[in-house]
Structure 1
């Protein structure tokens, strides 16, 4: 049925493309779920939209920050079982849901043809506005627009079809870092908490207080599990899952 909830027992996930605005966004938001997937044999691709060139805290890192953040992201991805990391190379703080960005998204998704696309939420989170960096919102808006209708429209970005990247109907779009009232799925990643934390530690250029970062992340994961009704002591990541195409979807509706 349209809008039917995601059920891991019924809906097989074999390939995933996960989008983040900056290096470390995916590690904060979804890396526990990703680690669980890759441990089960799922192929996961990371796509980082900006180079994170406005990040960090040390002025001495300005000349090397892009290379540093690329290296950090590759290292963090490897810890959660991801070997395919794509960098779109947009400027940190200037990301917009433009057709240039959407075309890049469509190209990658048509190439990988995943069961799930993960992206940041396009809606602002007023309860914790730090989740809603303008680049985060642009990431979510660009990916959401690209998943319908562009990725499945053979006449959108025709040069992609001419290059052999045919239109593709995505089953599921998973959004993260959005408003609390949009959450409709709590991913139990209790067994991969330490893996997620290890991945976050790799992003050393972004953490002036590593201990505070770790404590905050652990507390939030436990709070999410509680909100999701998981067993005591569990940890979870939150998603707003949208069914894009299912057996009852018809063209254009």
Structure 2
């Protein structure tokens, strides 16, 4: 099958606040940290919301010990790319269920932070048709897409207003990182070194994931993904997104 050759459009820049919603610690670092670094450099506010604390992610560490470790690594990782606000919703790692509870939690975060841009990770069944996606990624990605609308409807989850979270209908786009049908991109060059350092903060996870030296692994992975998009972004390595306007 012929690879797509259509050029990717630059991501919109007429926004001030983004909310990134994913399932696990490290999802954003594998997906789009170089773009986040670029955005925060430009003075934009980015908040991370994670559905779980990643407690089921390391086979050799029991969940009660793993959760605080991965939370610390995620906060350190976010700080590398200029993100200080990191929140955890407390859903159970590995068995997140798509449904009204998850939608409500994400809608509450959207109402609280009032973003114009919501970022999430590939919610489809596969990664480019080559590998099966995890249930957590599918559930959280779909719920984030739905919650972008839920947040603006006062009659959906009216209990949120009772908690002081007024409806927010200001989400203009949802950007899906890791999509196999991207439409837009951010130049990865300016933020790539910080993206590598950000992923490297998940050292405990990475050390059980690969036998490769952690820094070499992080650099090779992120550089390869960014370079793969270059042909569709004027020759520049890029972080790609499928941008869904609302």
TM interval, short-chain normalised: 0.7 to 0.9
Distance 2:240 2:50 in 1: 20
* Long gaps (5+) in structure 1: 245-253
Alignment partners' CA distance in 1, 2:98 and 2:162: 24
Q: Secondary structure at the match of 1:89?
A: coil
1:188 equivalent to 2:190? Answer no
Partner of 1:171: 172
Superimposed CA distance per residue, residues 14-52 of structure 1 (whole angstroms, 9 cap, x where no aligned partner): 000001110000111111111001011101100011111
For 1:165-189, what per-residue CA distance to the aligned partner results, in whole angstroms no more than 9, with x for missing partners? 22222111111122x2x21012112
Query: So what's the TM-score if we normalise by structure 2?
Result: 0.88
The Cα offsets for residues 75-96 of structure 1, whole Å up to 9 and x where unpaired, read as 0000000000000111111111
Structure-2 separation of matches of 1:128 and 1:91: 27
Deviations 1:46-78 (A, max 9, x none): 001111111125x25654210110000000000
Ranges in structure 2 where 5+ consecutive residues have no aligned partner: 1-7
1:218 offset after TM fit, Å?
1.1
Distance 2:218 2:87 in 1: 26
Partner residue, 1:139: 140
Q: Identify the residue that residue 234 of structure 2 maps to in structure 1.
A: 230
Is 1:22–1:49's contact at 8 Å kept on the other side of the alignment?
yes
Residue in structure 2 matched with residue 247 of structure 1 by the alignment? none
Across the two proteins, how many residue pairs are aligned to each other?
231
TM-superposed deviation, 1:135: 0.6
Which stretches of structure 1, 4 residues or more, deviate above 4 A after TM superposition? 5-9, 60-63
Contact kept, 8 Å, 1:190 with 1:236, in 2: the verdict is yes
Separation in 1, partners of 2:48, 2:22: 8
Task: Give the alignment's TM-score, normalised by structure 1.
Answer: 0.85
Which residue of the partner structure matches residue 225 of structure 2? 220
The residue correspondences of 1:57-76 to structure 2 (distance < 5 A) are: 57=59, 59-60=60-61, 62-76=63-77
Partner of 2:3: none
Partner of 1:156: 156
SS class of match (2:97): coil
Residue 89 of structure 2: SS of its match in structure 1? Answer: strand
CA RMSD across the alignment: 1.8
Deviates more, 1:207-216 or 1:109-118: 207-216
Give the secondary structure class of the aligned counterpart of 1:191.
Answer: coil
1:123 is displaced (CA, Å) by: 1.5
Tell me by how many angstroms 1:6 deviates: 7.2
The CA distance in 1 between the partners of 2:25 and 2:237, in whole Å, is: 23
Distance 1:158 1:203 in 2: 38
